[in-house]
Amino acid sequence: MRIIYQLLVVLFMVLQGAAVQTFIPGSAAHCQMQNGRCFPGICRRPFYWIGTCDNGFSCCKRYVEV
């Protein structure tokens, strides 16, 4: 009986974890509207930082030389 309760607790925690993780499709779209790309971590050359994507990645834009 004790094992059933522990399994129910684990199941409850898994379901709550799945409910918290939401995917917002606008995060990458917002960065792309600024001609940027979402990268994990910091922006490296030839890119520079222009903001943060909703998933925590950095929104980076490529240098354009005139």
- Domain spans of the chain? 3-62
Rounded Cα distance between 59 and 48, Å, is: 8
Average pLDDT, the chain: 78
3-62: CATH superfamily: Antimicrobial Peptide, Beta-defensin 2; Chain A (3.10.360.10)
Which pLDDT score is estimated for 22? 47
Give the pLDDT confidence of 11-40 residue by residue, as tens digits: 767 666 555 544 445 556 778 888 899 999
DSSP secondary structure letter of residue 15: H
Which pLDDT score is estimated for 27? 54
